[in-house]
Amino acid sequence: MKKLLIAFVAAGLLSLCPAQQAQEKGHDKAAASGTTLTGCLEKSGSGFTLTDKAGKATMVTGSADLAKHQNHQVELTGKMEKMGNESHFTVSKITHISPTCEK
């Protein structure tokens, strides 16, 4: 009887492992995809700013071709980073939404 109980407990613990691995893979995928911001991409001094519908402006940098999407409605994927006292969004991917900005 004792061996049967140990077998059931072991089987139960082993059945949890695939579920835990699936959760970890999902978390890794979300971290790899980054954060997404949507808004109007505008030239701001020597850089760019993305302004969302609520009017919040975010400094934007990155190797993506930002100038090509100037004054367009875009979806940016990347991550927020700190530079000294300022935060900026480093773009890894641009998705074009509209050739004009919604105001």
Strands 35-44 and 72-83: antiparallel
Average pLDDT, the chain: 77
Is a pLDDT exceeding 70 seen at residue 48?
A: yes
Tell which wins on pLDDT, 97 or 19.
Answer: 97
Asked if the model's pLDDT at residue 28 lies above 50, the reply is no
Residue 73 near residue 39 (C-beta atoms within 8 A): yes
